[in-house]
Amino acid sequence: TAAGTAEEKSKKRYPGEGKGFVEEMRFVAMKLHTKDQAKEGEKEAQEKPLPKWEPTIDGYLKFLVDNAEFRNTGLERAESLAKDLAWFKEEGYSIPEPSSPGLNYSAYVEELSKKDPQAFICHFYNTYFAHTAGGRMIGKKVAEKILNGKELEFYKWDGDLSQLLQNVRDKLNLVAEKWTREEKNHCLEETEKSFKYSGEILRLILS
């Protein structure tokens, strides 16, 4: 079949294997970008055009709050998000309650954290690394368009970001060394869900 049998699937190998597991995760993630988003992207842009890139402050606040739902990881964003939300409040905006995209995603990831470490690691990797890549580009674009270029704390990391990322890559690679090929593939196959859930949160910016 097109999807391949369970056995074929469990033995499937991905490029980057020799360079460590993070390279395999990155390969799968980059393919799920559109060409528009990243040079290495291969995904077809959606048939129905995305809504025009017109961020709103209320939508951006919903996006920031839903990201704050995501706790207990290494490259923590919660503290800087709290500062950003305090800043918006001072500016007179009311902070929305978390909405379903963030609540759904955090419930899903929390569930995985208890029962499916491989799938959980996939979300951990994609979320934190996405914030440092496309996330920063988005932050800049939104800031230019609706925040007079104000740089949010969300996009600032303590210390040298590339070093922080490399430390996390090393740790992820070490953890994955103990996994079987099947467990690695299970992790890689979760990437699509990571894009789906994050995409819903991302769209809040335009809501």
For ligand HEM, the binding residue among 10, 12, 31, 37 (CB under 6 A) is 37
Q: What angle do CA 83, 60, 107 make, to 5 degrees?
A: 80
Provide the minimum distance between the beta carbon of 165 and ligand HEM in the complex, in angstroms, as a whole number. 6
26 binds ligand HEM (CB under 6 A): yes
Choices 13-21, 90-98, 100-108, 191-199; region in contact with ligand HEM by CB under 6 A? 191-199
| Contacts with ligand HEM, 148-187, as mask; x by CB under 6 A | -----------------x----------------------
DSSP tally for the chain: helices H, then strands E: 10, 0
Cα 114 from Cα 120, distance rounded (Å): 9
For ligand HEM, the binding residue among 21, 88, 120, 129 (CB under 6 A) is 129
Q: Which two tokens stand for residue 117?
A: 């470490």
134 binds ligand HEM (CB under 6 A): yes
Q: What angle do CA 145, 146, 148 make, to 5 degrees?
A: 85
Cα 19 from Cα 57, distance rounded (Å): 42
- The site that binds ligand HEM (CB under 6 A) totals a number of residues, namely 18
Cα 125 from Cα 109, distance rounded (Å): 12
3-state DSSP call for residue 34? strand
Chain residues binding ligand HEM by CB under 6 A are 26, 29, 33, 37-38, 126-127, 129-130, 133-134, 137-138, 165, 194-195, 198-199
